[in-house]
Amino acid sequence: MNPQKNILMVDDDEDFLVATKLVLEKSGYNVKTCMSAKECIAILKSIKPDLIILDVMMESDHSGFDLCRELKKDSDTENIPILMLTAIDQKYPLNFAEAAGDEAWLPVEDFVDKPIEARVLVERVHRLLKD
């Protein structure tokens, strides 16, 4: 496992950020967190993480959906894998499992449903970072 890998996490729930950051750090990653899409774009100008963990529901004007599409359009960030988090039920008419990977609609590498257990999240992150 490469301990130097960087993860950027974007979520508007502070408690979740704190909990997840700790779990990922204890699993050997460097984690940077932010709470809005704006902050995320600003951080991406200075650092280039190996993975972005993104929450679907954020500020209404700039949701996780918009942000991931924007990141995939930008040549600087298009190669960074994105793991999307969602609290929307999988049985909801929006089928994330099918939508994930669709260039036009949800161009993310993987997605997980909240609440998620620490072990599952760490495994998904390992897989995406090919550790």
Partner 1 sequence: MAIITGKPAKPAQGRILIMDSDQETVEKLSRFLRNEGYWVKRAEQTNRFFEKIKNEQIDVIILAVEAWGVKGFDLIPIIKKINRFVPIIVTSADDSMDVAIRVREQGVFFYAIKPLDMNEIRLAVKNALNRKFTFRDGTSAVHRKGITVSDYEDEILDLTQASEILKLSKKMISNLAYKGEIPASKIGNKWLFIRNQLLEWLRITAAGNQKNYGTLILETMDEGVAVVDRSLRIVSCNTAYLQSLDVPRDRIVGEYCYRVSHRSEVPCDVSTCPVRKAFKTNHPVKSMHISYDDEGNEHYCDIIALPMKDKHGKVNQVLEVVRDNTELYNLHRNLRRIANFFAIESKKTLGPVVMDISALIDRDISKNIPIAKRNEMLLASFCNLKLMQDMIRNYVISYIGETGELQCNKKSTDVCKYVITPVIKQFQPLLRRKRMTIEIDMNESRSVYCDPDLMKIAFCNLIHNAIKYGAKNTTVNCSLCFNRSVFEITVFNIGSGIPHDKLADIFQPFTRYSRYRIRGTGLGLHVVKMIAEMHNGTVEAKSGYIIDGKSVDYDEFHAYKQLYNVFEKNLKRFAKFSLKIANRGIKTKEVRNESSKEYFNG
- Residue 3: CB atoms within 10 A of its CB come to 9
Residue position matching structure tokens 């924007």: 70
Question: Which stretch, 14-22, 39-47, 70-78, 102-110, contacts partner 1 (CB under 8 A)?
Answer: 14-22
Separation of CA 118 from chain center: 15
- Is residue 128 a contact point for partner 1 (CB under 8 A)? no
Q: How far is the CB of 61 from partner 1 (least distance, A)?
A: 11
Spatial strand order in the sheet of 30-34: 30-34, 6-10, 51-55, 82-86, 110-113
Single out the residue of 100, 122, 124, 125 in contact with partner 1 (rule: CB under 8 A): 122
Give me the residues that bind partner 1 (CB under 8 A), please.
12-16, 18-20, 22-23, 26-27, 35, 57-60, 87-89, 92, 114-119, 121-122
